[in-house]
């Protein structure tokens, strides 16, 4: 324990009670004030927190999937629902390293219920989709993707493929397995590619994985997800 010389036995007892959550009201406020003045008290509280945390060793209960959906919706708005995509990916063994892409959708209401999603535009009409930044947790790679209704324009903005690997672009629609779109042998020179027409139903997510040179064997992703982003209609981003 930290610096017993700097606290009275009474204060040491209060620190333990505080860490247990047993102090309430004025007593709690008083102790918090004392703790701000006295680093030894704070250190004592921290030590107790570390000790008591061990008591949770056997405590665990997986929350239902809806809790995460609600949380992300509450925090980031209605279209932050790449969850189905995540779950789909785990089926092909990719989920472990996944992070959700930073796709920013402005002006959508953040609330307990999903914002009304406008009716889909028929695929035969020109439609612009954007993934403003494709990225993944812990990864350096960044891409910007714009689909203008005809072709997908993919621009590499940061990062590189691991040595001896090629990057490969995938389209994931809803719960369907990832569809190989292109092997990106040279990220600095990516040709425009076409997506299926009409576009598949459901949330459209672009993902970039690293694969053996030449691309994934048998068209099934085998590498880690290095970047991903949800394609959203451009008018949802800038309206």
Partner 1 sequence: MRTEIDDLIAQVALEDRGALSELYDRTSAKLFGICLRILKDRAAAEEALQDVYVKIWRHADRYTANGLSPMTWLIAIARNTAIDTLRSGHRHSKLTGLDQALALPAPGPTPEGAAIASGETRRILGCMDELEKMHRAAVRGAYLEGLSYAQLAEAAGVPLNTMRTWLRRSLMRLKACLQR
Distance CA 120, CA 176 (A): 19
SS3 218: helix
Is residue 176 involved in binding partner 1 (CB under 8 A)? no
Answer for which of 78, 94, 98, 171 binds partner 1 (CB under 8 A) is 98
Nearer to partner 1, 199 or 204 (CB): 204
3-state helix, strand, coil in the chain (%, to 5): 35, 25, 45
- Radius of gyration of the chain, Cα coordinates, nearest whole angstrom: 25
How many residues of this chain interact with partner 1, rule: CB under 8 A?
60
Is residue 24 involved in binding partner 1 (CB under 8 A)? yes
Strand ranges, E, within 12-124: none
Answer for which of 81, 84, 92, 102 binds partner 1 (CB under 8 A) is 102
CB 232 within 8 A of CB 105: yes
In the window 108-137, what residues touch partner 1 (CB under 8 A)? 135-137
Is residue 72 involved in binding partner 1 (CB under 8 A)? yes
Is residue 209 involved in binding partner 1 (CB under 8 A)? no
Is residue 17 involved in binding partner 1 (CB under 8 A)? yes
Least Cα distance to 9 among 39, 40, 30, 49 occurs for 40
CB of 116 to partner 1, least distance (A): 22
> 91 Cβ partners below 8 Å, 6+ apart?
177
Answer for which of 8, 59, 122, 218 binds partner 1 (CB under 8 A) is 59
Number of Cα atoms under 13 Å in the Cβ half of residue 107: 7
Is residue 52 involved in binding partner 1 (CB under 8 A)? yes
| Positions that interact with partner 1 (CB under 8 A) | 1-3, 9, 12-13, 16-18, 20-22, 24, 28-29, 32, 35-36, 39-40, 42-43, 45-47, 49-57, 59-64, 66-68, 70-72, 74-76, 80, 86, 98-102, 135-138
């Amino acid at each position: 324990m930290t610096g017993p010389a700097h606290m009275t036995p009474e204060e040491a007892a209060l620190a333990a009670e505080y860490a247990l959550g047993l102090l309430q009201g004025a007593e709690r406020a008083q102790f918090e004030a004392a703790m701000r003045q006295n680093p030894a008290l704070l250190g004592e509280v921290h030590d107790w927190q570390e000790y008591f945390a061990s008591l949770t060793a056997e405590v665990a209960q997986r929350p239902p999937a809806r809790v995460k959906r609600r949380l992300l919706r509450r925090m980031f708005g209605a279209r932050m629902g790449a969850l189905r995509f995540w779950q789909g990916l785990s089926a092909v063994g990719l989920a472990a390293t996944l992070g959700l892409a930073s796709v920013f959708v402005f002006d959508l209401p953040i609330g307990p219920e999903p914002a009304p999603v406008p009716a889909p535009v028929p695929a035969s009409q020109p439609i612009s989709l954007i993934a403003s930044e494709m990225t993944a947790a812990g990864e350096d790679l960044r891409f910007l993707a714009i689909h203008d209704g005809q072709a997908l324009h993919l621009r590499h903005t940061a990062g590189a493929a691991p040595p001896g690997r090629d990057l490969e672009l995938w389209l994931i629609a809803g719960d369907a397995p990832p569809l190989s779109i292109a092997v990106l042998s040279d990220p600095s020179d990516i040709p425009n590619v076409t997506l299926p027409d009409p576009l598949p139903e459901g949330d459209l997510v672009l993902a970039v994985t690293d694969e053996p040179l030449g691309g994934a064997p048998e068209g099934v992703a085998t590498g880690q997800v290095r970047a991903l982003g949800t394609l959203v209609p451009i008018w949802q981003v800038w309206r």
